[in-house]
Amino acid sequence: MHGSDLPGGGAAGPGSGDGRSGSAAPELRFEVEELTRVEGEGSLRLRMRGDEVVEARLNIFEAPRYFEQLVRGRTPDEVIDIVARICGICPVAYQMSAVHAFEDLFGVQVDPEVRRLRRLFYCGEWLESHALHVYLLHAPDFLGYDSAVAMARDLRPLVERGLRLRRAGDAIIAAIGGRPIHPVSVRVGGFSRAPRRTELAALRPLLEQALDDAVATVRLAATFETPAMERVARLVSMRHPDEYPYNEGHIVSSDGLDIELPAWRDAFSEYQVEGSNALYARASDGSAYLLGPSARIALAATQLHPLARRELEATGLADEIAANIFRSVVARGVELVHAAAEALELVEAYRPPDAALVPWTARPGTAAWATEAPRGLLFHRYELDERGRIAEAQIVPPTSQNQAAIEADLRVFAPSVLRLSHVEAQRRLEQLVRSYDPCISCATHFLDLTVEEA
Amino acid sequence: MGRPTTAARLRVGVARFTSCGGCQLTLAGLHEALLAVADRVDIVEFAEVLSPRSSGPYDLLLVEGSVSTPDQARRISELRRQARLLVTIGACATTGGIQALRNWSDGDAWRAAVYPQPQFIHALRTSTPISEHVTVDALLRGCPIDPGQLAELVTALLVGRRAQLLDATVCMECKARGTVCLISSQGAPCLGPVTKSGCGAICPAFGRACYGCFGPAHPANVEALKAQFADQGRSDEEIGRLFAGFTANAPAFRANARPPLAVLDQPPVGPEPAARISHGFPGVPPLTASGDDDARQ
């Protein structure tokens, strides 16, 4: 946990510390044994020698749950219920990736209103997840508090605004899916029940308020002072010609990748690292890449709702969002505006589908799809046997894909905090990790932050 | 620190074991009511929301998740010593959760199937409820728990009265809600007749069969329901799968659950659940800031 601060960040001072012989500079360590204000259990370790980062590791010690095994032998509809339980923050994302994968394999064409309802469903999840992260987890870093509870003592209206936004998202999910966490109505072929028009119309006042609150969020987030950071990251997200990406589109990147959703494995792969209960993912050429709100804004801003695009432009931070992960809080704000604005339009235009649920027949083969979870692209792949049961599953959550990028960013950022006190340096490093909104429950089969200064 | 006095605010903690985080997030789902609660108590431990940490003592500790690693088995015993009242929340903490399906398997084989280098992974062969490890004072069921039940429990504890939680089956809640029975009208494989109330019978109201995420009612006539499913033409394999859900490891479901990859007829039986309250809701001693558990009945 500590070690003396390096004097002046000196590059090659004599190794006086820790009885280590033969090394040019004493090793400086930062460790955060349990990251707080992130979803799940992980830790950070950073070891430095002078300005050189010897090791940057995000370890995930969240207990494994073996979801890829839990779904084997199950029917597609059972899988939709089971994979929701990977994450209490983004169950909708898991249900959406799975249901689209199965429908793609089975050749199911859902009712156009069902397609729109699924976009609305996803708007709900982005609202509740981004509001939770921006206000309850992340804003305290920028405003000098150690929690939203402490922040609420001085800035109660701010916390209330976050809770209102979250409630709007929860209300959408519950109206469509019965409850905000682990909703029950998603089925292959549509929904087991479609809401009545009046049920969605009842959401309008909440959503109008949410839109105002979301706009206020961007304007607040744009005023946050962030540490300087410049890195050239490979950004990856989905993109669709006509709409901001939720359930459909292509996988694209900042360096020209453009592939179909089921083809994720053509460009990316997973591997395991000792000490972590998560599998990492990297591009096939071994490089790290960044998913999530910042990547989506960089790659798909032209499809943002006009109100969201206007707010993004007014911040003047579009370029910085792509280069400085601390600005992800602004990106989340912009996406809150998008989600609230689109949800409002979908609710106003809603007509119950003629067929909430269309019939389908299972067939063997490979079902693969990706959707845009709040934290980024979530890829599912299932092998189905002759009975239409799962023979094999692969689930690649956004946080395990971001893990390599988080570690790469730690290496870039770490030298800039060496002159700070140990406590402050550690706080900044933790803030960096929090900026990715890591979801550790998701990544386990995934996070641990120990910073060692070597 | 130290014992709370009459004037002291209650110290509340939230601890997480193996789970998805959804039940503790239900606290955040109380929205504005959360702030009202935060005004009344000191939330001293809640790692996913608060950076400051406290290892105790707690007047009330809410525990989410199951015990599935050696570290967790040690940690829950220490937490129990620090907590005046320990309340488990959700299907993982009260039954072992969906991850308890590995209790029917050869756990090492599962680890090897998911991780290329299984030797890096430290996990117990089983996932078990908190009550198999320590005494539990009260529990909230569900995957996830119901926000209304959570609000009722916390409110009751704060004002020192008994929580009023319906002790019935999902069937009762369907009747109260006016939902047409899916078993008699559609021949659906609905677990409502044997599942504990508390969710408000959401699934049938949304046109699908209950899948038992609140766990078994007490009593639960599972044999009669299985016979009904057989009359509907369902195979033993399918009926076994229906019970192999989010509360499969609960005693009344365990013998009837057949997860697809099961190699054991039943999981190894743990010690009798230690919970003082094994069903319904409780005779929880009202929690008062005086530290006198029996102060008010």
Within an 8 Å CB–CB cutoff, is residue A389 touching chain B?
yes
Distance from CA of B297 to the nearest CA of A (A): 32
Distance CA B8, CA B4 (A): 5
Choose between A259 and A9: higher pLDDT.
Answer: A259
Q: Which of A70, A72, A181 sits opposite B98 (nearest CB)?
A: A70
Query: Which of chain B's residues have a Cβ under 8 Å away from the Cβ of A174?
Result: none
Q: Which of B52, B116, B213 sits opposite A146 (nearest CB)?
A: B52
Tokens 């000196």 correspond to what residue?
A10
Residue of chain A whose alpha carbon sits nearest to that of B100 = A65
Residue of chain B whose alpha carbon sits nearest to that of A135 = B49
User: Which of A182, A186, A270, A396 best probes binding to B when mutated, by most B CB atoms within 10 angstroms?
Assistant: A182
Which CATH number goes with the domain that contains B55? 3.40.50.700
Predicted TM-score (pTM) of this structure = 0.91
Residues B80 and B137 in one domain: yes
Reduce the secondary structure of chain A to three states and give it as a string. Answer: CCCCCCHHHCCCCCCCCCCCCCCCCCEEEEEECCCCCCECCEEEEEEEECCEEEEEEEEECCCCCCHHHHCCCCCHHHHHHHHHCCCCCCHHHHHHHHHHHHHHHHCCCCCHHHHHHHHHHHHHHHHHHHHHHHHHHHHHHHHCCCEHHHHHHHCHHHHHHHHHHHHHHHHHHHHHHCCCCCCCCEECCEECCCCCHHHHHCCHHHHHHHHHHHHHHHHHHCCCCCCCCCCCCCEEEEECCCCCCCCCCEEEECCCCEEEHHHHHHHEEEEECCCCCCEEEEECCCCCCECCHHHHHHHHHHHCCHHHHHHHHHHCCHHHHHHCHHHHHHHHHHHHHHHHHHHHHHHHHCCCCCCCECCCCCCCEEEEEEEEECCEEEEEEEEECCCCCEEEEEEECHHHHHHHHHHHHHHHHHHHHCCCCHHHHHHHHHHHHHHCCCEHHHHCCCCCEECEEC
Over residues A117-145, the mean pLDDT reads 96
Residue of chain B whose alpha carbon sits nearest to that of A194 = B206
Residue B134 lies in a domain: yes
Within an 8 Å CB–CB cutoff, is residue B68 touching chain A?
yes
Residue of chain A whose alpha carbon sits nearest to that of B66 = A63
Residue A40: pLDDT band (50, 70, 90) is: confident
Distance CA A446, CA A441 (A): 7
Over residues A70-96, the mean pLDDT reads 96
Strands A42-49 and A449-450, how do they pair? parallel
pLDDT over 80 at A266, yes or no = yes
Q: Is A34–B97 a contact, with Cβ atoms under 8 angstroms apart?
A: no
Q: Which of residues 256-285 of B touch A (CB under 8 A)?
A: 259-261
Q: Indicate the residue type of B19.
A: S
Residues B224 and B83 in one domain: no
Residue B58 lies in a domain: yes
pLDDT digits (tens, 9 = 90+) for A206-247: 999 999 999 999 999 999 999 988 887 899 999 999 999 999
Q: Which of residues 107-166 of A touch B (CB under 8 A)?
A: 132, 136-137, 140, 146-149, 152, 156, 159-160, 163-164, 166
pLDDT digits (tens, 9 = 90+) for A409-441: 998 898 888 888 888 888 888 899 999 998 876
Residues B139 and B52 in one domain: yes
Query: Which of chain B's residues have a Cβ under 8 Å away from the Cβ of A146?
Result: 50-52
Q: Is A41–B26 a contact, with Cβ atoms under 8 angstroms apart?
A: no
Question: In 10 A of CB A363, how many CB atoms?
Answer: 12
Within an 8 Å CB–CB cutoff, is residue B246 touching chain A?
yes
Residue B223 lies in a domain: yes
Distance from CA of A160 to the nearest CA of B (A): 7
Distance CA A451, CA A57 (A): 8
Residues B155 and B176 in one domain: no
Residues B142 and B25 in one domain: yes
Residues B146 and B187 in one domain: no
Q: Is A184–B43 a contact, with Cβ atoms under 8 angstroms apart?
A: no
Residues B150 and B176 in one domain: no
Distance from CA of B295 to the nearest CA of A (A): 30
Q: Is B144–A160 a contact, with Cβ atoms under 8 angstroms apart?
A: no
In this prediction, residue A63 carries a pLDDT of 78
Residue B2 lies in a domain: no
Residues B200 and B239 in one domain: yes
Distance CA A251, CA A261 (A): 6
Q: Is B22–A88 a contact, with Cβ atoms under 8 angstroms apart?
A: yes
Residue B181 lies in a domain: yes
The number of folded domains in chain B is 2
Q: Which of residues 12-71 of A touch B (CB under 8 A)?
A: 34, 36-41, 62-66, 68-70
Query: Which of chain B's residues have a Cβ under 8 Å away from the Cβ of A271?
Result: 116
Residue of chain A whose alpha carbon sits nearest to that of B210 = A184
Distance from CA of A285 to the nearest CA of B (A): 20
Which bin fits A81, alpha (ψ -120 to 50), beta or left (φ > 0)?
Answer: alpha
Reported residue count of chain A is 454
Residues B142 and B221 in one domain: no
Query: Residue B232: which domain range?
Result: 170-254
Query: Which of chain B's residues have a Cβ under 8 Å away from the Cβ of A74?
Result: 241, 260
Query: Which of chain A's residues have a Cβ under 8 Å away from the Cβ of B35?
Result: 152, 156, 159-160, 163
In this prediction, residue A162 carries a pLDDT of 96
Residues B15 and B139 in one domain: yes
Q: Among A266-270, A447-451, B220-224, name the one with the lowest average pLDDT.
A: A447-451
Q: Is B22–A91 a contact, with Cβ atoms under 8 angstroms apart?
A: yes
* Predicted confidence pLDDT, tens digits, chain B (297 residues): 444 444 468 899 999 999 999 999 998 777 677 777 777 888 898 888 888 888 889 999 999 999 999 899 999 999 999 999 999 999 999 999 999 999 998 767 777 776 666 666 678 889 999 999 999 988 999 999 999 999 888 888 877 778 888 889 999 999 999 999 999 999 999 999 999 999 999 999 999 999 999 999 988 999 999 999 999 999 999 999 999 999 999 999 999 999 998 888 888 776 555 544 433 334 444 444 433 333 232
In this prediction, residue B271 carries a pLDDT of 57
Q: Which of residues 129-188 of B touch A (CB under 8 A)?
A: 143-144
Residue B290 lies in a domain: no
Residues B146 and B201 in one domain: no
Which one of B101, B130, B159 terminates a domain?
B159
Query: Which of chain A's residues have a Cβ under 8 Å away from the Cβ of B18?
Result: 62-63, 65
In this prediction, residue A17 carries a pLDDT of 36
Query: Which of chain A's residues have a Cβ under 8 Å away from the Cβ of B246?
Result: 85
pLDDT digits (tens, 9 = 90+) for A173-217: 999 999 999 999 999 999 999 999 999 999 999 999 999 999 999
Q: Is B22–A181 a contact, with Cβ atoms under 8 angstroms apart?
A: yes
Over residues A123-149, the mean pLDDT reads 94
Residues B192 and B64 in one domain: no
Residue of chain A whose alpha carbon sits nearest to that of B127 = A65
DSSP for chain B?
--S--TTSPEEEEEEE-BS-SHHHHHHHTTTHHHHHHHHHEEEEEETTTBSS-----EEEEEEESBB-SHHHHHHHHHHHHHEEEEEEESHHHHH--GGGGGGGS-HHHHHHHH-SSGGG----S--B-GGGTS--SEEE-SSS--HHHHHHHHHHHHHTS------SBHHHHHHHHTPPPHHHHH-----GGGBBS-S-SHHHHTTS----TT-B-SS--HHHHHHHHHHTT--HHHHHHHHSSTTTTSHHHHTT---TT--SSSPPP-SPP--S--SSS--PPPP-TTS-TTS--
Query: Which of chain B's residues have a Cβ under 8 Å away from the Cβ of A36?
Result: 47-48, 50-51, 53
Which one of B159, B189, B214 terminates a domain?
B159
Tell me if B62 sits within 8 A of B24, measured CB to CB. Answer: yes
Give me the percent of chain A exceeding a pLDDT of 70.
Answer: 90
Residue B17 lies in a domain: yes
Which one of B133, B159, B185 terminates a domain?
B159
Residue B108 lies in a domain: yes
